[in-house]
Structures are given as structure tokens and as C-alpha cells.
Structure 1
Amino acid sequence: MENALSAEPALTLDVARRVLDSGPVVTVFGEPMLDGWWHGSSTRMAREAPAPIVRLGRKDSVPGGAANTAVNLAALGARVRFVGLVGDDEPGAAVRDLLAEAGVDVTHLLAVPGIRTITKTRIVVADQVMVRLDEGNDVHPSEALDRLAEAAVAASEGVDAAIVCDYGTGMLGEPVREALRTRAARPPLLVVDARNGIPWAPLRPDLVTPNAEEAGTLLGAPLRSGTDRAGTVAAEASRILAASGAAAAVVTLDRDGTVLLEQDGGIHRTWARPASDKQASGAGDTFASALTLARAAGLPLPVSADFAQAAADVVVSRSGTSVCSRDDLLRHLAQFADSALAADDLVRRLAGERAQGRRIVFTNGCFDVLHRGHTAYLNQAKRLGDVLVVAINSDDSVRRLKGESRPINPAPDRAEVLASLSCVDYVTVFATDTPIPLLERIRPDVYAKGGDYTIETLPESEVVLGYGGEVRILDYLADYSTTAVVDRIRTPAPVTEDVARLEARAKRGRRSPIVERRAGL
């Protein structure tokens, strides 16, 4: 999984394009479903029962369950194989046709007589789901499960990644789990998205994606709404990873975004972009699909989580079981490409945020070469309120502060990278040496600054405290700084014995692949 994308520190439009153009081969194992969205109108109640009479109009059928995951992957540019069972019935044929139309390989989608394809039909009136009708049984003949296990092994050969989508119907039971556990060739990346991740722990997945309820199952206790669920997840990281058997986990918390947990103790938070309430379904499938694609393409885990969050933000703003396509995601990310707001625009936007009762957090800096210290700091700042504003020094201001060799990246590029982080809500550029004039205009509730400062040494403190605001000094990661990163880049790597030997061979006319790469050939 190590490639040029492995070094990317943040999600930019260019990084997203390279991921979407990578075209990995991904196998999806899971329960295919047919989602029905039947729309109608209702103006009166039935005489025979206290129930509304619905006059049906448009009927939409789309792939649901694991089939939705497969369609999302295909729409994002992956080459997808699907493994699952459907009934030998009309809904099963519809699922097969819809998957094939989306470009998914359905060679290993098995039609089994005697079982009914799982369907979930929602009756919608005036954008309100009135009732959901579920059909399909959870009983699968042992012979069918044995065939499915064989298909799962065959479909996972030669792939870049595989994702398990287990909704707990019994389809992905012990025969399939054992076949995948004992297969000769393991995919480079195994992702498990399961209602109950514990039975999948023996497979030692690279990544699991439990939601809040599923994380509660792993912990043996629910994550209660109205509490600091993200904080609980971070505190229980070792237990979640141990119970799932995974190298890493991304716990999805709907409106609260996600929390990435890594074995080395690394924690990364993503933040969901606010969206109006819609009857959306399947955003978790979109997130898991985009996360799998990004990791298969070689993006680091934190950036992969941001990539997946962006895709999920696209679908939660829509109604029904929705799909995020390549073009959808690029259009969404393009909003942040020219993302630095002028001061007047920022003041107007923040007035609207305050009118909705949101707490404004402000921080500032050069943010020249984004690194882990920056992202950890910005996530800390976001947790102090509801809206995070990041003000960056203009190029001239950076030169005055850091010298003529800086900035490395111009202000528009720095603004785009910062705006792509899900924890950042607004970015602006200021030309003065301090952000005091800007602070006097927007008067944030909290002014946050890194731990290499104190309240007493900050010239901004007097202004913020004077209007009744709060100054917070955040943790300082001493091992991370832009200067240190730049110094490492500019310092030639030591020539090892192996590299010296290869360069000597190249001088004798036998050029090695490593030397060719170093030479840019």
C-alpha cells in the first residue's frame, strides 16, 4: 500500500482525483437487498382504521445493503466483484440487473431457489417515511452457504481489496468466514463492516467500520446518545481494536462524524458537514466504500477517513438510498478549492452561525506545510465549540515572520488544504502580523492557540478577554513543526551500502530500477 499517495498529508482536489483514477479491484461480500422508495400523497384517513390513505405515484427501486456498497465503489471508479445470495425471484433479478447496469461483476451473485430476496420498501408522503415493509427470510440452505463460500474464495483472488458487509442475516455465516480465513491468498486490504464484528475477529481485518450501535456491541455496553460518544470511543480504543481483531477502526457516529483508532494509539477525528434533515439511507455504505477505495489507492488512514467523510457528506444531503459518484465527490471538494473567505463574507457567515446558537472557535497561523501536529491541534480546537475558523497569514506576512524562503506554499494552496479538513468550517487570510483586527471584527467565543504560547505572552489575549471571550492554550506536539519538516526535506538522505552499490552498477552502464526512480526516469 506504499506509493506516492502514502505521503499525502491532507485531502485536496488533486489527491482526490488520483484516488478516483486509481481503479483498484475490490470484492464485496455481503447481503444484497432491493430498496424500494414508493412516493405518494395523502389527504384523508381510512374509515376502517386510524391510518392514512396513501395514493401511490412514483416507485423507485435501487440496490440496497451490500449491493449499495458495491454500487458506490463502482461509481467512485473501482472495478467491483460482488459475492452474495439472492432468491430465484423477481426482486433477485432486479438486484442483478441494477448491479450489472452499475458496472459491477455479478458472476458470483448466486440465485438460490427457495429463498426470498431481501427487500425493504418505504412508503413516503411529503418527504416523510410513513412505514417500511421488509420481506425476505433469514434461512439459507447449507448447500447454498457452501456454494457461497467457494464463490467468496474464487472472487477474492487477485484483488487489491475486499470488504465484508455483514448485516447479520446469517448469509455470511461460519462457512463463509472459515473459507475466507483459510484461503491461500489474502487480499492486501481486508475491511469488515459488520453488525457484529466479533465473529470476524479471527480474520484479523486491516480495518473495521462499526457505527455507534456496533461499537457498543464490541464494548459490551451501548454508546448513549447525548453523551460524548467520540470521547468514549477514543478512551476505549484498545478494547474496540481487541474485540474486532483489527489493525485499525473507524467508528462512525452519524452527525458527530467519525473517530479513527490505530494500534499505535493514533486518534483522528472527522466532522460531518451540517446537512438539512432528509430521508437518507445508506450513508454508512458510502462511507465504507470510499474508505476502502482510498486505502486501496494508498492514502494514509487519516486522509482516507477525510475522503470517506466527504463522500458521506454528499449522500446525507439527498433523499433515499443514494450513491456518491466520482463527479459528485469532485464537485463537493471543488467548493473548497477557492475557499478563503474575505473578512466581510466571514462576518456575515458567522452572524448566521450565531443566530443558530453555535459557539465560534478561532485560531490562526501560517500552516505552511501541513503535518500531523497541525491536524491534531485543529481537531483539539474544533472540540472547543461548534464552528472552527482558521485564519492564515498572507504570503507577505509569512515572509515578514519566517524569512524570504517562506512560505513554501502560497496562501490559496494553504487555504484549500485546510478547508478540505472536516474539522475546519471557515478559512480566511489576514495580511497583518497579528490577527487582532480580525478578532475585533468577528469576536469569537474562543481563541485557541498552540501550547508553545501562554495567555500572558499572546498579544491577542487582551482583545479577546476584553470583550468577554475565552483564550485556550492547546497541547503542543514538540516533535512536529513546519521548520523540522522542511529541514528533513532539504537534508540529503544518507547513502546506504545498498544504494552505493546500485549507483556504482549504474555508472558501469547497468542502471538499476531504484536508480532510475531516483533519477525520475
Structure 2
Amino acid sequence: MTTPAPLLVVGDALLDHDLSGRVERLAPDAPVPVVSDLRRDTRPGGAALAAWLAAADGRDVTLVTALGDDPASEALRAVLADRVRLIALPMSGALSSKTRVLAEGRPLLRLDDGGGRAREATAEGRRALAEATAILAADYGRGATDVLRDALAGAAARTPVVWDTHPRGQAPVPGVCLATPSAAEARAFAARTGGDRDPAADDELRTAARDAETLVTAWRAAAVAVTMGGRGALLSYGGTPLMVPSPVTVHGDACGAGDRFAATATGLLADGRHTEAAVRGAVHAATRYVAEGGAGTLGVGQAPEPAPSPAAGEPTDAALRTAARVRAAGGTVVAAGGCFDLLHAGHVALLQAARRTGDCLVVCVNSDASVRRRKGGGRPLVPLADRVRVLRALECVDAVAVFDEDTPERLLAELRPHIWAKGGDYARTDLPEASLVASWDGQVVLFPYLDGRSTSGIAERAALAPHPARLAPDGRPGARR
């Protein structure tokens, strides 16, 4: 397995707190809600969150940020210890922190404290920028990118630099590989350049496209990706934009989704992916982040784990979390299952049709041992890790889970999908899992199957195809001499 490329994150770190509880009444002395049964969670914020998330992807991450001797700075150092290498810039004042008060997951109030700013650059910080092979700049307007701006400009001329803009920050340095403003941030920055909004263009997509085109030129950026929440992201190189849609509509805590997007995009660019692939991967990662609980899952000591490798007999945790989050948000969970050995057009058509019936699609795939028991000793033709990787690459697939039994009943009982999708070739077959799905008011739905597509047929045709070593000199089948 290829080791993910290392990243340098430079920018303004924050310390975030969540006070979560429940509301059952208003205070007797004022019409305000009373939040009880409080739970306090602390996590990194700002550039520190981006660095934390990149480290959770298995990357070697260095964070260049301003820190002081105040309690918030010390708390952030402790949170990041053993996960991220820190290069501290001198700070004037105390580290900024924010506290959200939430009831049943819904924010009621936010308190901001600390106005510390980066005071100056250091030789160690400049050296890290000079040696970096990929850089994420997270500019929250507290000076870290300002004091290193000349070094960032030099880095942008030789290596991928992604600039995550924020309302109080500055424009990116010229030459960045990708800038990632939200739609609101893109509108504000475009207005600063003198770009006027077309009064007739009330459509968010049209406005984002115009703003992105303006900013590509004004910032001299190679590309701008305007993040648009649940719609996905709009990528512009200065001409006709490319819309990268979210693979599923999810509702949840979006705090930190922009950091997840920027960290993923930077990592994929560091791995050598082109910009479009990096943005597509970032949209999927941000969607999963929100679906799986967002910032609320990032308490101290609970760094998000990378997606686990599939293990026989156990579904991936990500698949279960995805199904649970979509269900909790009132969405429809769809599941489909099979060996998916030599993925072909029939499989893809089924999965695409299944995904359109709900809000997420979880694919349940047989382990290698299960395939051998069902198909014989020569199968699978493709090992489990590769089958899972190909399935996860499909736009219509939100998560993959693995089962080791001959049938997926145990896994289905954990996932509890609203819809269990099967191909139309099962129309006259009694499915053993049908009664189980019905037990939680789920439904088995059959979808048309493309005729003439099967793994066995493809394998047989491949076995009969002439091998280059058996071709005659004129290209016709025959023994070579």
C-alpha cells in the first residue's frame, strides 16, 4: 500500500469547545432555553483541525501556527501531541477559542474568546515552507499566513499550495494551485475586486460561477473551487466551470466541513492527483464527514480514524455510521449486495438505479472465503481489497461493508436498510433475507438487470481469447515458431 504524501499546514489555529445538552424548559427569569445534562468536548479548530484531519488520513503532518503561553495554547498543544508536529510562531495575546452551546445537536449560542495574533515569522517556519512538497494555507485572519506571506509566495511557484480562504483573511498569494472559498466567501472576495453581481443572476450556481471566474483572474490562481454545502463544489479554471456534486444529500453538523474539504484536496494533490480528482475526492470526504457526525465526533482523544481495511465477518464502521446518520436525519438507507467479482455494466446499472431510490447506498460484499464457498475454488478472480476499492470509487456508492457468511442476513440486521436492492434476475426466487428485511418494515426492491452481462461469461470469454504468445506472426491464432 502506498504511503500518503506528507503535508505542511500553515495558518491560524483555534481551540474549539462544545457544550452539548438537552432543552426541556425556558428559564423562569427570562425567555431563554435552559440547557441541562451538559457534556463538554474540546477539539482543535481552524488550521489545527485541518492538520488533525490530514493526520487522521495517515499523513505525516507539520503545522506552522502561532501559539502562546496562555491556557488555550497549552490545551491545544496537548490535543495535538503525538499526532501533528508543531512549529510555533510567536503570538501576541491569547489563542482564539470558540465555544458552541448545543441542544440535541442544534447550536443555540456561540462564544468567542481570545484575540491573539501571530507576531512574526521564524527561521524554522520559513525552512519548513522551503522544504514542503505540498502546503495547505488556512487563513483565518489572525496573522500566521501574513507573517509568512513571502515564503508562501515562493512556495506557490514550485509546489502545490491550496489556500483555504475565510472572511477575515487576505486574498491568496499569486500562483496557488487551488483556492477553496465557500459561496459566501467567494461572493465577498469577488465584490472586493470590483466584480458586480448581475441583478438578474439570483441563482446560486450562476453567481458562484461568475465569482469563481473573477477570482481565478484576480488571484492569479490555477483554479478556484467554490464549496456549496450539500450541493458539492464548483471548480473553475477561469472558463466554463465544472460542477462536482455531492454523492448524497445529508443533514447534520457542517462545522469543520470546509477544513475536511481543504485537507483532503491538498492531500490528493500531494499524492499526484490532478485538480479535478482532488476536488471530487474532497467533496466525497466532506459529505462523509457531515454524515458521520461532523465536529461532534472529534472530542479530545478521539481523532477520526482512517477508513478501516475490510475484514472478513465484520462490516466497516464507516458503513454503519453512514447508515445511522442518514437514518437519523430522516433519509432513506438503501443496501445492495453481491460478490462484485469483475465489476461489469450490469453491476453498475443496478447500483446506480438503487442509489436513486434513497439518500445513501451501502454495498454489502462477500469476503473472499464466502465467494469461494459459493462460486468454487477458482473464485474470486479479484481479491476483496481490490473489489472494495473499485466499489468505493463509484459515484453512486456511499459506503462498503463486508460479510463472511454465505448470505448477508447478519450484516443486514446491523444496517437495517429501508430498501434492499436486488437484480431483476431474482424475480422468481424466494430471497432468504426478504422476511428479515420486512421485520423492520424494510422493503425488497427488484431492478431491471442488463441482459448478457455476467462475471462468469466475461471470465469464459477472456479464457478463450487468443493469448499474444499463441498468435502466429501474421496476427492470426496459431502456434508461434
What TM-score comes out, normalization by structure 1 length? 0.57
Are 2:226 and 2:235, in contact at CA under 8 Å, matched by a contact in 1? yes
Structure 2: unaligned runs, 5 residues or longer = 320-329, 334-343, 362-380, 400-420, 426-445, 449-467, 469-481
Q: Are positions 1:131 and 2:109 aligned together?
A: yes
For 1:292 and 1:208, how far apart are their aligned partners in 2?
Answer: 10
- State the match for 2:71 in structure 1: 90
Which secondary structure does the structure 2 equivalent of 1:188 belong to?
Answer: coil
Q: What amino acid sits opposite 1:211 in the alignment?
A: S
Q: 1:127 to 1:198 in 2, by over 3 A?
A: closer
In the TM superposition, residue 285 of structure 1 has moved relative to its aligned partner by: 0.5
1:128–1:269 CA distance, 2 compared to 1 (3 A): closer
Matched, 1:50 2:28: no
Summarize deviations over 1:218-263 as a string: whole Å, max 9, x none: 3326799x95433443455532311232111221111101122235
Q: Report the secondary structure of 1:279's partner residue.
A: coil
1:311 to 270, 279, 285: 285
Which residue number in structure 2 is paired with residue 153 of structure 1?
A: 126
Q: Out of 307, 312, 327, which is 1:328 matched to?
A: 307
Pairing of 1:337-486 with structure 2 (within 5 A): 417=390, 420-422=393-395
Q: Is structure 2 residue 263 aligned with structure 1 residue 289?
A: yes
Paired residues of 1:84 and 1:109 also in contact (CA < 8 A): yes
Alpha-carbon spacing, 1:71–1:157, altered in 2? closer, same or farther (3 Å): same
| Residue of structure 2 equivalent to 1:347 | none
8 Å contact from structure 1 (residues 271, 422) kept in 2: no
Q: Is the 8 A contact 1:32 1:64 kept in 2?
A: yes
Distance in 2, Cα, partners of 1:189 & 1:278? 31
The partner residue of 1:105 within 85, 95, 99 is 85
Q: Is the 8 A contact 1:248 1:261 kept in 2?
A: yes
Counterpart CA distance in 1 for 2:388 and 2:206 is 28
Q: Is the counterpart of residue 77 in structure 1 residue 50 in structure 2?
A: no
- What is the deviation of 1:195? 1.6
SS where residue 58 of structure 1 aligns? Answer: strand
* Deviations 1:183-228 (CA, angstroms, capped at 9, x unpaired): 7x9552111001259944443101111111111123326799x954
Any idea what the Cα deviations from partners look like across 1:81-124, whole Å, max 9, x if unmatched? Answer: 111112321111011111123x1001x12353x51111111122
Q: Check the 8 A contact 1:35/1:321 in 2, yes or no.
A: no
2:140 maps to 1:167 = yes
Measured in 1, the distance between the counterparts of 2:151 and 2:85 equals 21
User: For 1:471-510, what aligned pairs fall within 5 Å after superposition?
Assistant: none
Return the alpha-carbon distance in structure 1 between the equivalents of residues 70 and 106 of structure 2: 30
- Does 2:32 correspond to 1:60? no
2:135–2:162: 8 Å Cα contact kept in structure 1? Answer: yes
Name the structure 2 match of 1:181: 153
The structure-2 alpha-carbon separation of the partners of 1:274 and 1:201, relative to structure 1 and needing over 3 Å to count, comes to: closer
Is the Cα contact below 8 Å between 1:271 and 1:423 reproduced in 2? Answer: no
User: Shift in Å at residue 170 of structure 1?
Assistant: 3.9
Aligned counterparts of 1:182 and 1:153: Cα–Cα separation in 2: 10
Does 1:253 pair with 2:224?
no
Structure 2 partner of 1:207: 178
Equivalent residues of 1:27, 1:83 under 8 A apart: yes
Q: Residues 220-239 of structure 1: matches in 2 within 5 Å?
A: 220=191, 228-234=203-209, 237-239=212-214
Which stretch has the larger CA shift, 291-300 or 277-286?
Answer: 277-286
* Alignment correspondent of 2:274: 300
Contact 1:62 1:321 in 2 (8 A): no
Matched position secondary structure for 2:132: coil
Deviation of 1:313 after TM superposition, in Å, equals 2.0
After TM superposition, give the deviation of residue 329 of structure 1 in Å: 7.3
- Separation of aligned partners in 2, 1:388 and 1:97: 37
Amino acid at match of 1:188: T
For 1:218, the equivalent position in structure 2 comes to: 189
Q: Give secondary structure in 2 for the equivalent of 1:281.
A: coil
Q: 1:417 to 1:151 in 2, by over 3 A?
A: same
The residue aligned with 2:441 is none
Match for residue 195 of structure 1 among 152, 163, 166:
166
Q: 1:153 to 1:200 in 2, by over 3 A?
A: farther
Considering only aligned residues, what root-mean-square deviation do their CA atoms show, in Å?
Answer: 4.7
1:306 CA displacement: 2.4
Residues 280 and 329 (structure 1), Cα distance of their counterparts in 2 relative to 1, 3 Å cut: farther
| Number of equivalences | 356
SS of alignment partner, residue 281 of structure 2: helix
> 1:309 Cα shift?
2.0
Q: Secondary structure at the match of 2:121?
A: helix
Indicate yes or no: 2:17 matched with 1:36: yes
The 1:171–1:248 alpha-carbon spacing in structure 2 relative to 1, beyond 3 Å, is same
Residues 223 and 92 of structure 1: CA distance in aligned 2, closer, same or farther (over 3 Å): farther
The residue that corresponds to 1:122 in the other structure is 100
% identical aligned pairs: 28
- Say which is worse superposed, 124-133 or 228-237, in terms of deviation: 228-237
Give the deviation of 1:178 after TM superposition. Answer: 2.7
Cα 1:367/1:243, change in 2 over 3 Å? farther
SS of the residue aligned with 2:205? Answer: helix
Amino acid at match of 2:120: D
2:274 corresponds to which letter in structure 1? Answer: P
Contact (CA 8 Å) 2:265, 2:281: kept in 1 or not?
yes
Change (3 A) 1:172 1:308: same
